[in-house]
């Protein structure tokens, strides 16, 4: 679980322009004019009033809006939330309501749109991911999520709805609710799970950073030494280094469980084996000798080169959040463990 760069002001402006071009205010007015139920009229008026925050507000803002709807439009909130699971919900009424909300915050249209905006930019899901430039899935850091669009073919990351769009259709096209990620994390694992900031890491806000680390866990009956690892008698584990921070630890365990990270990383042992073999050659003594050479700036640089962690902004940063290298956080933590 890694953090990704937040959308720039330009991206937010493009996103808003797209909905202005679709005449979102007129769509709201039309929806309001069709309602007979005062509660629904008030609800659409509320959404219209908060449309900018809904479209480009930060995750904390979206959670506040969600809380407000739950408190002040509780019947609507529950109706939409339970539509697919509770048989006592009036399906006709709330499905109709959901359809109307979705026709305004229209994700289906957005996902295929290529709407021309100013500055020669075309907006829609492709336009967005092309500007966000998220190259690696933030949930698993295991798959590339590059964007290509040409005459002969196209590919882009899928967009996961952090807050489930079926239960909360008003967040279907909220910029901060659209997380570029890989198909496996989105479709196979997360599905329609309704994430919240309390229970889950939000890639636009936080990842594990250095507060949780992957490590090599010797198989049962084997010692915690290099021999066990060399024989492949280990699996990948994760531990929170903030055991007193219950909320953080809970989110670490839940992301590992939902996205099956350690289980999947066990299939990538070949990369870990490379690091193990490097650690056999580059012992602490050897690294110290190398560090004395003029071409290196010290033992830290030697270790960073060996583990493949890049030099950033003229200083050697702990780049476990690096966005361009698959498995970076895993390999970073394991190489630290191995002393390289
Ligand atoms: Zn993924």
Average pLDDT over residues 239-252: 94
Domain end among 190, 225, 240: 190
Q: In this structure, are 185 and 216 located in the same domain?
A: no
Range of the domain at 231: 212-337
pLDDT, tens digit, 9 for 90 and up, residues 116-169: 998 889 999 999 999 998 989 999 999 999 899 888 888 999 999 999 999 999
pLDDT at 54: 98
Average pLDDT over residues 164-182: 97
CA–chain centroid gap for 333, Å, is: 20
* Distances from the Cα of 283 to the Cα of 165, 280, 299, 334, angstroms: 51, 6, 12, 15
Asked if the structure places residue 204 within a domain, the reply is: no
Task: Tell whether 167 and 300 lie within a shared domain.
Answer: no
In a domain, 180, yes or no: yes
Output the pLDDT for position 310: 54
Query: How far is the centre of ligand 1, averaged over its atoms, from the C-alpha of 151 (Å)?
Result: 27
Same domain for 236 and 168?
Answer: no
Phi/psi of residue 159, nearest 5 degrees: -110, 115
Does some domain include residue 131? yes
pLDDT computed for residue 1 by the predictor = 86
How many angstroms separate the alpha carbon of residue 188 from the centre of ligand 1?
10
pLDDT digits (tens, 9 = 90+) for 11-40: 999 999 999 999 999 999 999 999 999 999
Question: Same structural domain for residues 94 and 58?
Answer: yes
Q: Say how many Å lie between the CA of residue 57 and the centre of ligand 1.
A: 25
Q: Are residues 21 and 111 in the same domain?
A: yes
**CA-to-CA dists, residue 26 to 14, 29, 35, 114, 289, angstroms:** 19, 5, 15, 21, 71
Residue 44 and residue 99 in one domain: yes
> Per-residue confidence at 309, pLDDT binned at 50, 70, 90?
low
Lowest mean pLDDT among 88-102, 103-117, 321-335: 321-335
C-alpha of residue 157 to centroid of ligand 1, in Å: 10
Give residue 260 CA to ligand 1 midpoint distance, Å: 10
Q: Is residue 279 part of a domain?
A: yes
CA of 2 to the centre of ligand 1 (A): 11
pTM: 0.91
The reported pLDDT for the residue numbered 319 is 40
Ligand 1 centroid distance, CA of 30 (Å)? 39
For residues 160 and 31, membership in a common domain is answered with yes
On whether residue 143 sits in a domain, the answer given is yes
Centroid of ligand 1 to alpha carbon of 186 (angstroms)? 7
- Rounded Cα–Cα distance for residues 125 and 157 (Å): 9
Task: Give 230 Cα–ligand 1 centroid separation in angstroms.
Answer: 28
CB-based contact 64:115 (threshold 8 Å) = no
Average pLDDT of span 273-293: 89
Quote the ligand 1 centre to 180 CA distance (angstroms): 9
- Say if residue 163 is in the same domain as residue 221: no
What is the percentage of the chain residues whose pLDDT exceeds 70? 95
Angle between helices 9-21 and 125-132 (to 10 degrees): 170
Domains contained in the chain, number: 2
């Amino acid at each position: 679980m890694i953090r990704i760069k937040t959308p720039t002001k330009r991206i937010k402006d493009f996103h808003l322009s797209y909905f202005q071009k679709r005449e979102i205010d007129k769509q709201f007015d039309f929806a309001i004019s069709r309602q007979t139920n005062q509660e629904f009229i008030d609800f659409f008026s509320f959404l219209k009033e908060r449309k900018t925050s809904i479209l480009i507000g930060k995750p904390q803002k979206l959670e506040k809006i969600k809380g407000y709807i739950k408190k002040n439009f509780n019947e609507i909130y529950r109706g939409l939330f339970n539509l697919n699971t509770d048989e006592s919900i009036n399906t006709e009424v709330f499905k109709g309501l959901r359809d109307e909300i979705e026709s305004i915050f229209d994700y289906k249209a957005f996902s295929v749109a290529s709407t021309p905006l100013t500055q020669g930019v075309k907006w829609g899901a492709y336009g967005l991911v092309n500007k966000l430039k998220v190259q690696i899935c933030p949930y698993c850091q295991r798959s590339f999520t590059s964007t290509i669009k040409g005459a002969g073919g196209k590919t882009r990351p899928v967009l996961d709805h952090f807050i489930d769009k079926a239960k909360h259709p008003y967040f279907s096209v909220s910029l901060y609710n659209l997380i570029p990620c890989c198909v496996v994390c989105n479709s196979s694992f997360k599905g329609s799970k309704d994430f919240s900031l309390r229970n889950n890491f939000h890639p636009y806000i936080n990842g594990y950073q250095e507060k949780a680390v992957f490590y090599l866990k010797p198989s049962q009956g084997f010692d915690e030494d290099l021999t066990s690892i060399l024989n492949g008698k280990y699996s990948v584990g994760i531990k929170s280094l903030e055991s007193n921070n219950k909320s953080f630890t809970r989110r670490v365990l839940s992301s590992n469980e939902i996205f099956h990270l350690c289980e999947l990383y066990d299939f990538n042992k070949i990369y870990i084996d490379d690091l193990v073999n490097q650690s056999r050659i580059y012992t602490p003594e050897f690294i110290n000798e190398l560090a004395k050479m003029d071409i290196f700036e010290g033992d830290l640089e030697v270790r960073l080169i060996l583990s493949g962690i890049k030099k950033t902004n003229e200083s050697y940063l702990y780049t476990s959040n690096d966005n361009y290298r698959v498995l970076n956080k895993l390999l970073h933590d394991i190489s630290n463990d191995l002393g390289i």
